[in-house]
Every structure is written in structure tokens, then in C-alpha cells.
Amino acid sequence: MKLLLTGGCGFIGSAVVRHLLRETDHLVINIDKMTYAASEDALEIGRSHPRHILIRADIADARAMREAFEAHDPDAVMHLAAESHVDRSIDGPADFVQTNVVGTFTLLEAARRHYGALSPERQAVFRFHHVSTDEVFGALEPGDPPFTETTPYDPRSPYSATKAASDHLVRAWQHTYKLPTIVSNTCNNYGPWQFPEKLIPLVTLNALEGRDLPVYGDGSNMRDWLFVEDHAAALVRVLEQGVPGETYAIGGRQPRTNLQVVKAICAHLDQREPDPAGPRERLIRFVTDRPGHDFRYEIDPSLTEQALRWTAPHDFETGLARTIDWYLDNRSWWQALREARYAGQRLGTAMSVKEKAA
């Protein structure tokens, strides 16, 4: 199979690329815009693998997408490229509309044109797999049943609203144009190579450096967690065995409050690399909650588990230990990112002071 995959240098996308190259014989055509959160290093074996081709392009560029389909003639599409950080979507929603909505539309149109030119035999096996999030379903309260494939949409942030819009576009192209699409929704992922703005890497690296560990509100907001390599395996299973027109909810059955997650990170680091100043829980700081912060997300993956014979192999404790150990063993990667981040913050502060004085 020749698979056109978008966002393959991102956190989840790179895990999919690594899985495909290790476990299948598929050719991977990886389209990535290479924004701040993308990393060629995360491809690992993919950087020089003969079955991996990297194309640096924006999915919202119609000409680039048309040329990619014409040049590589893919048998399937897995669409992961997205802006995904909620806080960033609140500060700058335009980028999320452009990538998540316009980009998905542009990719769908390129795929529709390509699909229409295929032989009936190739059309029968072609798939467009769109990877989405549980945040499109809104928020759960204590005691509410977890999200399923049929939960009504109720997005609450610019990020989740743009992902919901992209989901609707994908399903509309299925019904209107008969493009064989599949949607999967997942919970919070964690694991190696995650950009250090998300909760688990941010807390891990702050704790290692003795910095404050910020926790929104009182830390009671709850998320379902899934180890990224487990998600990658599930996504490939959906692509290969999923039924067009269906939706698959992919979850790890590992709900935790944010405070539980932070304390678990502290405990593991205290065991692996004790801090002479004392247990790292002393660094926890509760900060003002962000606008529209959803209280709880949790997925019921029963349909996916039954239909595709898949369950997440890692429990949270095992996956978290592997993740933290990876960050301990790969300091050079994240230290460079952290140094650039804090240098930028210092520059921004200096410029603000200068502008105010003027």
C-alpha cells in the first residue's frame, strides 16, 4: 500500500510512521508543513528509510496537494495534520481555522479528484482516514457515561470547534461525493517526542529543572490517557480494517485528574533522579483556570475493541514510566527546545519594557 499521511513529523504522526515502517511493508508519503511542533528527529528510522518520503508542504496549499497525489498515486490517506494546542487556539484561533478547516477541505478535494480517476478495483480499497479528538464532544460531568461514537458534538474551544468542523467536512464528502472516509476520535495522548508545551512533558521537564509545576484550577479536571504507540497501532488497524462511513473511538481506559498525573510524574522522577532539595510535589502551583476549560473527557472504546480486535497494551503507570525515562535519556532534544523557548520569553519581556518606556 502507498499511504499518503499528513502531519507525519508531529507527535502522533511520527509514531504512526515509525509503526508503519517497523510493522508493515507500506510506502509512506509524509506531508508535513514542519511547524514549531514538528521534528524530523522523531521519525527515527524514517529519516533514511527507503519506504518513507517526506514532502514539506502545507495541506491548505491546493496546488501542492494536487501535485502530491499526482506524483505518488496513493492507495489511502491518513490525515493527522492539525493545530492541536488549546491554549494556543484561544490566543490565536486563525491558524486553527486555516489548518484544521481549510486544510482538511483542501485535502479532501485533492483526494476526491484522485479517487475519481482510480479504477473500480482501486476505488474499492481506497480509504480516507481522518484522525480527530474527543474534545469535539464537549465536556463530561462527574457520573456522566464516557463518550462514544454517537455522542453529540458540543465543542467548547477554538481548537475543538475547528476539529469538529473538519469531522463534519469529512463525513459530508462521504455522503455527498461517496469518498470512502473513516473518522477516529481519541483521548489525550502521551509518550516520547511530545512537544514540551503539553501537560506531561511540560511538568516532567519543569520538575527536572526545579521550576514551578503549573496546575489549572484545583487540578480536578480529568482526562483519559493513551500511550502514543498504542494509538499509532490502533490507527493503522482502523485504516486497514475500518469500514467506510464508520467512526471509531480510540481510548486507553486510563482516566486521571490533572493533579493525579502531576503527582505521578513527581513520584517517578523522585525515584529515578532524586532532587537534593526534596520531593518534587513541593513545586506544584495552582494557577488561574483557562477560559472554557472542559472538566472531563473520557472515551468508551468498546466498539473499536470489538470491531477491530484491539486494546491498549499499556496501562498509565507503565506508559508514564516509559515516557519519563525517554525524556531522561534524550535531554539534548528537549533542552534545545527549552533554551529557545526561554530565550524568546526573555526577548519578549525586554521588548515589552522598551515599548512601555517609549
Please tell me the distance from the alpha carbon of residue 272 to that of residue 49, in angstroms, as a whole number. Answer: 34
* pLDDT (mean) for 25-30: 98
Question: How far is Cα of residue 134 from the mean position of the Cα atoms in its chain?
Answer: 11
Catalytic residue among 135, 229, 294, 305: 135
Q: How many CB atoms lie within 10 A of CB 177?
A: 14
> How high is the mean pLDDT of the chain?
94
Q: What pLDDT, on a 0 to 100 scale, did the predictor assign at position 290?
A: 82
Please tell me the distance from the alpha carbon of residue 158 to that of residue 143, in angstroms, as a whole number. Answer: 26
Q: What pLDDT, on a 0 to 100 scale, did the predictor assign at position 352?
A: 30
Q: What pLDDT, on a 0 to 100 scale, did the predictor assign at position 353?
A: 30
Enumerate the domain spans of the chain.
2-187+228-253+294-313
CATH class of 2-187+228-253+294-313: alpha beta
Q: What pLDDT, on a 0 to 100 scale, did the predictor assign at position 344?
A: 55
Counted residue by residue, the chain has a size of 358
For residue 347, pLDDT beyond 70:
no
For residue 349, pLDDT beyond 50:
no
* pLDDT (mean) for 314-340: 94
Q: What pLDDT, on a 0 to 100 scale, did the predictor assign at position 339?
A: 83
Q: Determine how β-strand 222-227 pairs with β-strand 255-257.
A: antiparallel
Backbone angles phi and psi of 285, in degrees to 5: -130, 125
Over the stretch 275-325, which tens digit does the pLDDT of each residue have? 999 999 999 999 998 887 889 999 999 999 999 999 999 999 999 999 999
Q: What pLDDT, on a 0 to 100 scale, did the predictor assign at position 355?
A: 27
Over the stretch 128-170, which tens digit does the pLDDT of each residue have? 999 999 999 999 999 999 999 999 999 999 999 999 999 999 9
Give the model's confidence band at 346: pLDDT under 50 very low, under 70 low, under 90 confident, else very high: very low
Please tell me the distance from the alpha carbon of residue 138 to that of residue 281, in angstroms, as a whole number. Answer: 31
* pLDDT (mean) for 45-66: 98
Give the model's confidence band at 342: pLDDT under 50 very low, under 70 low, under 90 confident, else very high: low
More confident residue, 70 or 197: 70
Give yes or no for a contact between 114 and 41, defined as CB atoms under 8 angstroms apart: no
Q: What pLDDT, on a 0 to 100 scale, did the predictor assign at position 270?
A: 98
Q: What pLDDT, on a 0 to 100 scale, did the predictor assign at position 264?
A: 98
For residue 336, pLDDT beyond 60:
yes
Catalytic residue among 32, 58, 83, 134: 134
Catalytic, 134? Answer yes
Catalytic residue among 115, 159, 297, 327: 159
Q: What pLDDT, on a 0 to 100 scale, did the predictor assign at position 345?
A: 55
Over the stretch 172-193, which tens digit does the pLDDT of each residue have? 999 999 999 999 999 999 999 9
Catalytic, 159? Answer yes
Q: What pLDDT, on a 0 to 100 scale, did the predictor assign at position 289?
A: 87
Q: What pLDDT, on a 0 to 100 scale, did the predictor assign at position 293?
A: 85
For residue 357, pLDDT beyond 90:
no
For residue 350, pLDDT beyond 60:
no
What's the chain's Rg over C-alpha atoms? 21
Task: Tell me the DSSP string of 95-133.
Answer: HHIIIIIIHHHHHHHHHHHHHHTS-HHHHHH-EEEEEEE
Over the stretch 222-237, which tens digit does the pLDDT of each residue have? 999 999 999 999 999 9
Over the stretch 298-312, which tens digit does the pLDDT of each residue have? 999 999 999 999 999
For residue 351, pLDDT beyond 50:
no
> In the structure grid, which three cell numbers stand for residue 117, read together?
480517476
The pTM is what?
0.93
Catalytic, 135? Answer yes
Give yes or no for a contact between 63 and 37, defined as CB atoms under 8 angstroms apart: no
Q: What pLDDT, on a 0 to 100 scale, did the predictor assign at position 159?
A: 97
